[in-house]
Amino acid sequence: MKLRQFGLVAGAFCAAVLASNSAIAADKPLQVATDAAYAPFESQNEKKEIVGFDVEVLTAAAAKSGLKTKFINTPWEGIFATLGTGDRDVVASAVTITDERKQSMDFSDPYFEAKQLIAVGPKSKVVKFADLKDKKVGVQTGTTGDEVVQKLLGKTNPNIKRFESTPLALKELLNGGVDAVVADNGVVVNFIANNKNDKLKTIDDATFAKEYYGFAVKKGNKALLEKLNKGIAAIKADGSYAKIYKKYFGN
């Protein structure tokens, strides 16, 4: 091959590689981890599509920065490790921003305020969090609900019953296997509304702190964080966040 020919071929090759690379970068959706057993934030509909408040908020925010999203049902246990391995770009799973988590991942600006809420059966005498001290309490493993209950009962107390998902803990409450469940307010309220006949009661305790949900990314992924934060600000400014909020939570 003559030098000139080589140059042409090499040039064409480079152009092709560059073109396909940028195509991938622009079109490849964000791989989003979510534990889709957490209505109304993330759940699977009859068609097995992942739907919910988090899905709509992240998708709308990402779109403002020209990004698409692909939600992938991912078990809560180990969900954050998928950022480190690069299997997922974002965790959007009603994740509370905590100081401890901030050490191993970065969070977007908060997009939702939540609190723990206690659920008990219709005949329960529990009226405040401290009443759970010698009760069997169901939580989802590794959630902020789990942490709060550990503080009252002690980390290794066998009365803390840990479940893979929050609905499983709540079902165990219906079955009488636990005396109470402590979990995020939005999910507890949603579950009770969908299981009205069981007449579960809720107890809001003044000692529970406010929690804020954020989208988690791999530690140091500043470029993506910036895009997500710009997007969150934009959907708050143009009313689309309010519209999504109203759809799921009313006024």
Contact residues for ligand ARG, defined by CB under 6 A: 35, 38, 42, 76, 93-96, 140, 143-144, 166, 184
Q: Which is nearer to ligand ARG, 179 or 184 (CB)?
A: 184
Write down the least CB distance from residue 15 to ligand ARG, Å.
44
Task: Please state, in angstroms and rounded to a whole number, the distance separating the CA atoms of residues 220 and 12.
Answer: 35
Determine if residue 97 is left, alpha or beta; phi over 0 gives left, psi from -120 to 50 gives alpha, anything else beta.
beta
Q: Which is nearer to ligand ARG, 144 or 229 (CB)?
A: 144
Task: Please state, in angstroms and rounded to a whole number, the distance separating the CA atoms of residues 1 and 153.
Answer: 78
Task: Please state, in angstroms and rounded to a whole number, the distance separating the CA atoms of residues 166 and 251.
Answer: 25
Q: Which is nearer to ligand ARG, 42 or 179 (CB)?
A: 42
Tell how strand 42-44 and strand 50-51 pair up: antiparallel
Write down the least CB distance from residue 144 to ligand ARG, Å.
4
Write down the least CB distance from residue 124 to ligand ARG, Å.
23
Q: Which is nearer to ligand ARG, 163 or 241 (CB)?
A: 163
Task: Please state, in angstroms and rounded to a whole number, the distance separating the CA atoms of residues 55 and 41.
Answer: 7
Write down the least CB distance from residue 74 to ligand ARG, Å.
9
Residue among 115, 94, 36 at smallest CA distance from 213: 94
